[in-house]
Amino acid sequence: MPDNNKLVLKPISDLLNKTFYIPAYQRGYRWTKRQVTELLDDIKEFQQQAENSNKGAFYCLQPIVVKQHNDAWELVDGQQRLTTIFIILTYLKDILTLLGKSRYQLSYETRESSADFLENIDEARGEENIDFYHIVEAKKAVNEWFKQQDGTYQIKFIQTLLNEDDIGKNVKVIWYPIGDNEVVTDVFTRLNMGKIPLVNAELVKALFLKSSNFDQDGKAARHLQQLNISQEWDAIEKRLQDDAFWYFVSNSPIKTNRIEFVLSLAANKLSSDGIIETDKLKIFLQFNQLLNEQDADVVQEWLKVKQCFMTLDEWFNDRALFHLVGYLVSQNTAIEELFDLSDASQTKYEFRQALIKRVFNKSFPSKTFSDLTKETVEADLSQLSYDSGPKRLRAILLLFNIASLLANPQTNSRFQFEKFKLDVWDIEHIRSVASDMPSVRDKQKVWLTNVIDYISEDNTISAEERAPEDASAAQKIRVDADVLLKRATFDNDQFKSIYQRVLALYDPSGDEDVDNSIGNLTLLDSSTNRSYQNAVFPIKRSRIIALDKQATFVPLCTKNAFLKYYSKQVDKMLFWEAKDSQDHQSAMVDSIYGIFCGKGVHS
């Protein structure tokens, strides 16, 4: 960031005596009616909120990036906003004249007629060119908006828009002049390609790297301080780009400017006096207020930001904290709450215990931690069924995975929160519901293809140690299914017959009552789940094994269930029976109780 790049908050009133030069590389005015109306709505919302605020309150517009150009300012970024405000001032020019104020001037390198047209917008000329058209449409939007307001509202609006700082409760822009050594076309390209968008993060970075913030005793020392902050900023940004880290602390799928997450944590303890809570640039405004104080120590303030990140990094590197914090974040616990919990804890152990209690409260909101027994966990889980809803079931099944990983001090395995949050996860029956026979032809064909693929595997029959008659029945099913798929007309009755034969061979207990208990439920990514089309257990099991062989993420407890690791009797690997469901549910109770009673949390 060049030394002469200085961010300043300027009220709109300070721009009225300026001339802005719009160069040839800028496209024409293109704001839509919606964008114009949103700006007007935002200013009105601020004006209403500011009536009960102190004098220092203001509404902040996005940055205006400029470079000195003779007696004017070359407008590198912000043309659309300044043109819209100019159109609003044109609409209100009679009131403007009464107040003794004038509009700023806009000049164009290649579109001189646009400047004249803006001075006196003639709707009849709107079809002459594309610039005129959008200017006319914007004027219509302004006209329609003000007609919907109270008759005297124009006065209130223009006061809010143009109040000077000594009056307050006004609208400001972030004034961002770039240095003489900057190539404006390069800056324009970077901004408009989204490589350095001037959002909170970039604006705060500019504040921290301003030369005037640093020790002036020696240029070398000042440069070293700037360089240090710049390098540490870049290192934090790089760390946050690691999805494993990002999705541990956040549920948001954003790709860029992730450092704003850390800045918001640091800003949480800063004053917001005079800043509207809903302002999109609130974080920048808080830091701007802080770093412009006379005794501000930019190095110490940067250290506070860095410490917020270091806390997150410490939690990530501690296996127990990683899983407990990661689970709570996944259940929409605000990270600020966890910072408060950490601050209130004297030791890491105390913090860990506080997290465990928070997990309990999230998982069993109707119970108190002091009443914890294995029986209470067992009773709660036994009440859960498929009808309990995906949100509740997904949370408990996720907790089962977390508890299982934490129970083993001998492993470094970690839950992959990034995979869990980037995929869509279904609550899947381990043994499918027999009554849910596919009824749509495409799904029936997929179902048959899964059966053929499974039976065609070279080692399927021998590995399952099937009786010869079962092996023969399986091969007959494969042949009949293959014939049906190749027929010109798909016979629904033949599909139903094959379906019943598959159930008789691979799901002989299918006529039992539907098992909707949590013991018969597991987490499965939606793409895998929906590719099953209600397949029978051995086909599902085979698919899970194939995914695991390919190192595709399958939650630990899902894999364990299909491999029947929880089953006390494993003489029938092809079938999932009621006792398997009961054993699976018992394992959930043991693991989840373990995480709460202190037996199952190891760093």
Q: Express each pLDDT in 262-275 by its tens digit.
A: 999 999 999 888 88
pLDDT digits (tens, 9 = 90+) for 7-52: 788 999 999 999 999 988 788 899 999 999 999 999 999 998 888 8
Alpha-carbon gap, residue 362 to 263, rounded angstroms: 27
Q: What percent of the chain has pLDDT over 70?
A: 88
Of 97-106, 305-314, 382-391, 562-571, where does mean pLDDT reach its minimum?
562-571
Of residues 199 and 67, the one with the higher pLDDT is: 67
User: What pLDDT sits at residue 483?
Assistant: 85
**Those residues with Cβ within 8 angstroms of residue 162's Cβ, 6 or more apart along the chain or in another chain:** 11, 12, 13, 16, 99, 101, 170, 171
Region 378-393: mean pLDDT is: 94
Of residues 275 and 387, the one with the higher pLDDT is: 387
User: What pLDDT sits at residue 216?
Assistant: 57
List the alpha helices (DSSP H) in 344-440.
348-363, 374-382, 390-406, 417-422
**Those residues with Cβ within 8 angstroms of residue 562's Cβ, 6 or more apart along the chain or in another chain:** 430, 522, 537, 540, 541, 544, 545
pLDDT digits (tens, 9 = 90+) for 511-523: 566 789 999 999 9
Of these ranges, 110-119, 321-330, 472-481, the one predicted with the greatest mean pLDDT is 321-330
Q: How many residues does the chain have?
A: 603
Beta bridge partners of 522: 428
Its pTM stands at 0.75
Judged on CB neighbours under 10 Å (0-12, 13-18, 19+), 389 is exposed
User: How do strand 72-77 and strand 19-22 relate by DSSP bridges?
Assistant: parallel
Mean pLDDT (the chain) is 86
Region 167-189: mean pLDDT is: 79
User: What pLDDT sits at residue 2?
Assistant: 39
User: What pLDDT sits at residue 213?
Assistant: 63
Kind and range of the H or E run holding 107: strand 105-108
Alpha-carbon gap, residue 283 to 26, rounded angstroms: 29
Confidence of residue 314 (pLDDT cuts 50, 70, 90): very high
Confidence of residue 461 (pLDDT cuts 50, 70, 90): very low
Confidence of residue 571 (pLDDT cuts 50, 70, 90): low
User: What pLDDT sits at residue 219?
Assistant: 59
* Distance separating the N- and C-terminal Cα atoms of the chain: 42
Beta bridge partners of 60: 172
Region 469-473: mean pLDDT is: 71
User: What pLDDT sits at residue 545?
Assistant: 84
Region 594-603: mean pLDDT is: 73
Compute CA distances 561 → 248, 303, 400, whole Å.
Answer: 25, 47, 12
Region 536-563: mean pLDDT is: 87
Region 64-83: mean pLDDT is: 90
User: What pLDDT sits at residue 384?
Assistant: 95
**Those residues with Cβ within 8 angstroms of residue 224's Cβ, 6 or more apart along the chain or in another chain:** none
Of residues 227 and 465, the one with the higher pLDDT is: 227
Q: What would the DSSP string read from start to end of 521-535? A: EEEEEHHHHHHHSS-
Confidence of residue 467 (pLDDT cuts 50, 70, 90): low
Q: Is residue 550 predicted with pLDDT exceeding 80?
A: yes
Confidence of residue 503 (pLDDT cuts 50, 70, 90): confident
Confidence of residue 599 (pLDDT cuts 50, 70, 90): low
User: What pLDDT sits at residue 566?
Assistant: 93
Confidence of residue 196 (pLDDT cuts 50, 70, 90): very low
- Residue 274: name the closest of 264, 288, 261 by CA: 288
Region 588-602: mean pLDDT is: 83
User: What pLDDT sits at residue 539?
Assistant: 78
Of residues 220 and 440, the one with the higher pLDDT is: 440
User: What pLDDT sits at residue 246?
Assistant: 98
User: What pLDDT sits at residue 55?
Assistant: 82
User: What pLDDT sits at residue 180?
Assistant: 73
User: What pLDDT sits at residue 242?
Assistant: 96
**How many CB atoms lie under 10 A from the CB of residue 164?**
11
Torsion region of 533: left, alpha or beta (phi above 0 gives left; psi -120 to 50 gives alpha) = left
Confidence of residue 543 (pLDDT cuts 50, 70, 90): confident
User: What pLDDT sits at residue 535?
Assistant: 76
User: What pLDDT sits at residue 533?
Assistant: 60
What are the residue ranges spanned by the domains of the chain? Answer: 8-198, 245-406, 417-597
Alpha carbons within 13 A on the beta-carbon side of 279: 27
**How many CB atoms lie under 10 A from the CB of residue 5?**
16
Confidence of residue 458 (pLDDT cuts 50, 70, 90): low
Region 435-461: mean pLDDT is: 73
Of 67-71, 339-343, 400-404, 579-583, where does mean pLDDT reach its minimum?
67-71
Judged on CB neighbours under 10 Å (0-12, 13-18, 19+), 86 is buried
Alpha-carbon gap, residue 194 to 190, rounded angstroms: 6
Confidence of residue 212 (pLDDT cuts 50, 70, 90): low
Alpha-carbon gap, residue 363 to 366, rounded angstroms: 9
Alpha-carbon gap, residue 133 to 174, rounded angstroms: 29
Structure token digits, residue 159 = 């006061």
User: What pLDDT sits at residue 466?
Assistant: 55
- Residue 284: name the closest of 314, 305, 264 by CA: 264
Alpha-carbon gap, residue 42 to 49, rounded angstroms: 11
Residue 599 identity? K
Q: What's the DSSP call for residue 92?
A: T
Region 466-492: mean pLDDT is: 79
Residue 415 identity? F
Main-chain phi, psi angles of 436, to 5 degrees: -90, 50
